[in-house]
Amino acid sequence: MSYTIKTLNKISPKGLSKFGEGYVLDDNAANPDAILVRSASLHEVEFPESLLSIARAGAGVNNIPIDKCAEKGIVVFNTPGANANAVKELAIAAMLISSRKIVDGINWANSLTENVAKEVEKGKAQFVGPEIEGKVLGVIGLGAIGVLISNAAVNLGMEVLGYDPYISIDAAWGLSRGVKKAPDLKTIFEQADYITLHMPYNEKTKGTLNAAAFAQMKDGVRIINLSRGELVVDEDVLAAIESGKVSTYVTDFPNEKLINKPGVITIPHLGASTPESEDNCAEMAAKQTKLYLETGNIKNSVNFPNCEMPMSGVQRITIAHRNVPNMVGQISTALADAKLNIEHMINNSRGDYAYTIIDLENKATDDSLARIKAIEGVLRVRVI
């Protein structure tokens, strides 16, 4: 069996090498079995019938229409935590450059033409900025990145307040005891000297930092946004800088409104741009894709449930379907009517969608497969 993988964006060769024999890597494939992508938007893309999966080599999946994919039985993966350390390190740098006027200072030093050493000592007073030790950091979103930055900030001597209404048990276990729980955003807004955003961008989080939020914050607060531009209302943060409410806004998401504005430091989406994180993300994306193509097992999907079973029997069929009653009953009946015996089976659900893996003792007939495909709510049937 040979599979074609289409790659969008620069995906680390170390990760792509995981595919190995039997895989064709083609940037221009018209009918790929799988896509590997970083930040390229797939919202306007028409997906071919051949496409079985999309793997986001990274965390945020707002560039992928995950519900549309689910309806077509296309499994979407991401790579949880694979670039978290890279973002944590940039977040620490962002806090420091938001405080110490390092960027303005470097630009100024480079603009000097003569008597440089003397001019530096005379002019440096304009670039004084506060230390972060002893200050209050508000972390919004305590997932893979939020936990790392919270713990690092505690170690740097900051007081850390964390807010996450959906925190996972694993994330809670990973948090330093020094991190205090904020019961709501208001607490973060009212108490933090620095606020850093580490939640996903979606309809609920869009514009979380808006004029009403800035009004509740301390004067001179510093805002770090390495998550997604849309979480902060550009006009409102610019107005808050103008009024002195916000001292500095560091964002990894420059746009025409934000570049070259006083008080705004724009970084060209470098959060995950380290060799280590590019390798980690690509390796994880490749491994998950390979696993899915070769076994139908799903690991780290964002639109279907995770579902894994060791291969057994003579033939495996997988069914991606809507999460509706009696689906397993209808599938089993179609198989039983064709005198097909199930050796092992697993069915998991997640929200509106579910996934079933069945290992058969004998090969499925075309008729039985056609019957399963025809069941209302079945989105994709694969024979492996």
Ligand X SMILES: NC(=O)C1=CN([C@@H]2O[C@H](COP(=O)(O)OP(=O)(O)OC[C@H]3O[C@@H](n4cnc5c(N)ncnc54)[C@H](O)[C@@H]3O)[C@@H](O)[C@H]2O)C=CC1
Binding site for ligand X (CB under 6 A): 58-60, 80, 83-84, 87, 140-146, 163-168, 171, 198-201, 204-205, 226-228, 252, 269, 271-272
Residue in 38, 56, 198, 228 annotated catalytic: 228
Interface with ligand AKG in residues 49-78 (CB under 6 A)? 58-60
**Size of the residue set binding ligand AKG (CB under 6 A):** 9
Q: Which does 50 bind (CB under 5 to 8 A by kind): ligand AKG, ligand X, none?
A: none
Shortest CA distance to 307 belongs to which of 316, 317, 297, 321? 297
| Shortest distance (Å) from residue 230 CB to ligand AKG | 13
The entry of ligand AKG, ligand X, none that residue 320 binds, CB within 5 to 8 Å by partner kind: none
Binding partner selected for residue 142 from ligand X, ligand AKG, none, CB under the kind-specific 5 to 8 Å limit: ligand X
In contact, 59 and 300? CB cutoff 8 Å: no
Q: Which residues pair with 318 in a beta bridge?
A: 357, 382
Catalytic-residue membership of 269:
yes
Pick between residue 193 and residue 252 the one whose CB is nearest to ligand X. 252
Residue 100 interacting entry, from ligand X, ligand AKG, none, C-beta within 5 to 8 Å by type = none
What does the alpha-carbon distance between residue 142 and residue 329 come to, in Å, rounded to a whole number?
A: 40
Q: Which is nearer to ligand AKG, 39 or 333 (CB)?
A: 39
Residue 38 interacting partner from ligand AKG, ligand X, none (CB closer than 5 to 8 Å by kind)? ligand AKG
Least distance (Å) between residue 12 CB and ligand AKG: 10
Annotated catalytic residue within 100, 269, 322, 382: 269
CA distance 18 to 32: 17
* Residue whose CB is nearest to ligand X in the complex, by number: 143
Residue nearest to ligand AKG (CB): 58
Answer positive or negative: Cα dihedral of 165, 83, 283, 60: positive
Which of 49, 203, 256, 376 is labelled catalytic?
256
The CA distance from 226 to 210, in Å, is: 17
Contact status: 143 vs ligand AKG (CB under 6 A): no
198-227 residues in contact with ligand AKG (CB under 6 A) are none
Residue 294 identity: E
Under rule CB under 6 A, residue 85 binds ligand AKG: no
Q: What residues from 232 to 291 belong to the interface with ligand AKG (CB under 6 A)?
A: 271-273
Does position 39 interact with ligand AKG (CB under 6 A)? The reply is yes
Partner whose footprint covers residue 267, from ligand X, ligand AKG, none (CB < 5 to 8 Å by kind):
none
DSSP state of 81: T
Residue 301 is given by DSSP the state B
Q: Shortest distance, CB of residue 86 to ligand X, whole angstroms?
A: 7
Cα distances (angstroms) measured from residue 123 to each of 99, 102, 112: 18, 14, 10
Q: Residue for token digits 């079985």?
A: 52
Closest-CA residue to 197 (of 273, 94, 294): 94
* SS3 letters across 219-269: CCEEEEECCCHHHECHHHHHHHHHHCCEEEEEECCCCCCCCCCCCEEECCC
Can you tell me the distance from the alpha carbon of 173 to that of 134, in angstroms, rounded to the nearest whole number? 24
Q: Least distance to ligand AKG from the beta carbon of 272, Å?
A: 4
| Least distance from ligand X to the Cβ atom of residue 96, Å | 17
What is the crossing angle of helices 366-373 and 327-337, to 10°? 160
> Taking a C-beta distance cutoff of 8 angstroms, is the pair 182, 163 a contact?
yes
**Type of residue at 71:** E
Quick check: 38 binds ligand AKG (CB under 6 A)? yes
Short-list 5, 73, 76, CA closest to 35: 5
Interaction partner, residue 39 (ligand AKG, ligand X, none; CB < 5-8 Å by kind): ligand AKG
Q: Rounded CA gap, 46 and 384, in Å? A: 25
- Report the nearest approach of ligand X to the CB of residue 269 (Å): 6
Nearest distance from C-beta of residue 62 to ligand AKG, angstroms: 8
* CA neighbor of 355 nearest in space, from 315, 296, 314: 296
Return the H-helix or E-strand segment holding 347. Answer: strand 342-350
Give whichever of 66 and 307 is closer to ligand AKG, judged by the CB atom.
66
Residues marked as catalytic: 228, 256, 269
Kindly list the residues in this chain that would bind ligand AKG in the complex (CB under 6 A): 38-39, 58-60, 83, 271-273
